Amino acid sequence: MQDRIETERLILRPFEASDASAAFGWFGDPVVILHRTSGVAIGDSGLLVLKDYGWIDLGFRLAQPHWGKGFATEVASAWVRAAFDEFGLSRLGAFVHPKNVASIRVLEKAGFHSERRGSVMGMDSIVFSLDADARRGL
């Protein structure tokens, strides 16, 4: 497994102690999104096993100054490719608050479809999924 994923504008790599001050604005995962040119952490993302819910979850969060610039779509697409092409997963899940229209759109652009509405980790959510076969167009 590689220790970093690079997209056109971002570097996804494990969280480091030096990222703590930049991460103050969001609740972080062990994988953080870095802006390629500046090297500054701008959010976190990754795949997380949600055993209680029975799926591997794609999650992403960006600091507010970086919203609306396509970074979330870029990182979601990179994790989808890694999940299916590198890790050999057959299915991914994701959940989002129903009022978070931007994140819903990101998941749809990445190929996810809405499965149901329910409570996930105590939050009213829309649950999305993406199967490897559907991604390949089979």
So what's the pLDDT on residue 26?
53
Whole-number pLDDT of residue 71:
94
Cα angle at 103 between 95 and 44, to 5 degrees?
Answer: 80
Q: What superfamily in CATH does domain 5-135 come from?
A: Gcn5-related N-acetyltransferase (GNAT) (3.40.630.30)
Say which residues have a Cβ less than 8 Å from residue 73's Cβ, sequence separation at least 6: 106, 109, 110
Class of residue 132 by CB neighbours under 10 A (exposed 0-12, middle 13-18, buried 19+): middle
Please say whether the beta carbons of 125 and 118 come within 8 A.
yes
For residue 89, what pLDDT is reported? 95
Residues of the chain under the 70 pLDDT cut: 1-2, 21-33, 35-36, 137-138
**In the prediction, which pLDDT does 107 show?**
97
pLDDT at 60: 93
The torsion of the CA quartet 110, 41, 20, 62, rounded to 10 degrees, works out to -40
Strand order in the sheet with 31-35: 5-6, 10-14, 31-35, 41-50, 55-62, 91-96, 123-131, 113-120
* Predicted local confidence at residue 23, as pLDDT: 62
- Give me the pLDDT at residue 24, please: 58
